[in-house]
Structure 1
Amino acid sequence: MKKILLLALAFSLNSCAQVQQTLNQLPQLSSQIPGIGGVDIASGLKEALNKGITEQVSKLTAVDGFYKNEAVKILMPDELKKVDATLRKVGLSSLADEGIKMLNRAAEDAVKEATPIFVSAVKNMSFTDAKNILLGNESAATSYLQGSTTTALYGKFNPVIKSSFEKVGADVVWTKIITKYNTIPLVKKVNPDLTDYTTNQALAGVFKMIAVEEKEIRNNISARTTPLLKSVFAMQDKK
């Protein structure tokens, strides 16, 4: 019995020692590299996120930012793929192409609303958020932005896309497409919510491009274009 108690005590002390060792290591995250503190870690992560926003999101706002970028180009929604195929079959390929272009034009217009929301999310990032991002997986920063901005972005994008459909003529084009399709004999009539679809596709495109930049900064030292980025992400390299 005495031996059992001694073994239990030894196990307990060993477990406590391991826990304490883990706790002791936490403050050292910011001391693994001389001169790097908590404020610098947060600043470095904010700089990286702002770089991703500037370098990638801004590209999406340009003409053809979505339309000629195969990684994020918005295609027909699943429910309209049959519409697309049918229109092409009856000699209306140009109309189908124009419909796809209009979806992308609306997304390019809406993404201009993203930057202020992203800037606010980055500004409000805590040190804990920064630490988790730095030592997280290669899309941790993108996931943080996605979790903290998606609702606000949808609220901003949706009305802009609706307005953009009118501005770029997408509403007229799509009304024509749907009308043409629905007059074809024996087809099932369709009336999709293209504003919601395009909004969600635009959001997916934004986060996809931010993830591209994040991966580049994490894995490519030459993409760390400032001393702060180099210092902070060197800590990630050693994790």
Structure 2
Amino acid sequence: MAGFEDRMGRRDAVAVMLATLAGGAIAATWPGAARAAGIGGAFVDLLGRASDSSLDKLAEPGAFYNDPDIRIGLPLVGGLGGGLGGVFGKVLDTGSKLGLTDNLVRRLNDAAGVAAGEAKPIFRSAISRLSLADVPGIATQNDGATQYLRRSAGDELRGKLRPLVDDGLAQVGAYGQLDSLTRRSNVLAKAGITHDKLGDSVTGQALDGIFRYIGNEETKLRANPLKPAGSLLKGILGGN
């Protein structure tokens, strides 16, 4: 009887440890609680690694501009969205040959890189506070944890990324260039491209690119059993 109680004590201790790794108590019975907690903790670690790696890559000079999948462009006419810049943004970028934009678009991408280099703490903070309530859904998709992070903390991250983007736009001279271009031509003013509109558009597009990279990194980590996070996930999801 004592042996049985000792074994149960050890199992309960493991359950508590895993729940702590997951970031809080889980209202379920053993072994379901411990299993969910272990998976939750593994995904928190996975997301942290994926976000750090992604932001390091995007902070490299030219990273945003050189990747056509995430390249940042000027806002659409009337501020109808950012996306990857839109038709009007591409026209203005091409118009640099005529002296209209003077490579303003490249400066926007440089600013996004500056912001990415400063964004690790805000992403780590958001990740550390995830409840990871939808563990089954997260576990079944290669970028499930990234999608969960975006659903759960996307608005918060956008709000905290915006000041970093504004600082980056000022640092690389994009806001100054916008002011200069606006004085020389009314094209940008007619398009409604102001400091606020530009900052908001670059923030949205930068966040799209960051989440795209985090999702790709998550997929790689899951697939690589030699990585600590990948190994932990395989052990938990593959166990009985």
Q: With structure 2 as the length reference, what TM-score do the two structures score?
A: 0.69
State the SS of the aligned residue for 2:69.
coil
Amino acid at match of 1:225: K
Cα displacement (A) at 1:89: 5.7
Cα displacement (A) at 1:205: 0.8
Cα displacement (A) at 1:206: 0.8
Structure 2 Cα separation of the partners of residues 104 and 188 of structure 1: 21
Kindly report the root-mean-square deviation, in angstroms, between the aligned alpha carbons of the 2 structures.
3.3
Amino acid at match of 1:221: N
Deviations 1:1-57 (A, max 9, x none): xxxxxxxxxxxxxxxxxxxxxxxxx97678xxxxx8444322221221112012112
Structure 2 Cα separation of the partners of residues 191 and 56 of structure 1: 32
Seen in structure 2, the aligned counterparts of structure 1 residues 29 and 172 have a Cα distance that, compared at 3 Å, is: same
Amino acid at match of 2:234: F
1:225 is the counterpart of 2:210: no
Amino acid at match of 2:230: L
State the SS of the aligned residue for 1:67.
helix
Matches within 5 A, 1:5-154: 37-79=35-77, 81-82=87-88, 85=91, 88=94, 91-92=97-98, 96=101, 98-126=103-131, 128-134=133-139, 136-154=140-158
Q: Work out whether residues 61 and 108 of structure 1, in 8 Å CA contact, stay in contact via their aligned partners in 2.
A: yes
Cα displacement (A) at 1:112: 3.3
Q: Work out whether residues 139 and 215 of structure 1, in 8 Å CA contact, stay in contact via their aligned partners in 2.
A: yes
For the pair shown, the structure with the greater C-alpha radius of gyration is 1
- State the identity as a percent: 26
Amino acid at match of 2:98: L
Q: Work out whether residues 87 and 181 of structure 1, in 8 Å CA contact, stay in contact via their aligned partners in 2.
A: no
Task: List runs of 5+ in structure 1 lacking aligned partners.
Answer: 1-25, 31-35
Seen in structure 2, the aligned counterparts of structure 1 residues 181 and 82 have a Cα distance that, compared at 3 Å, is: farther
Higher relative contact order (CA 8 A, sep 6+): 1
Seen in structure 2, the aligned counterparts of structure 1 residues 158 and 128 have a Cα distance that, compared at 3 Å, is: closer
Task: List runs of 5+ in structure 2 lacking aligned partners.
Answer: 1-28, 78-85
Count of matched residue positions in the alignment of Structure 1 and Structure 2 = 201
Residue equivalent to 1:194: 198
Q: Work out whether residues 161 and 198 of structure 1, in 8 Å CA contact, stay in contact via their aligned partners in 2.
A: yes
Q: With structure 1 as the length reference, what TM-score do the two structures score?
A: 0.69
Structure 2 Cα separation of the partners of residues 82 and 181 of structure 1: 15
Structure 2 Cα separation of the partners of residues 60 and 168 of structure 1: 16
State the SS of the aligned residue for 2:121.
helix
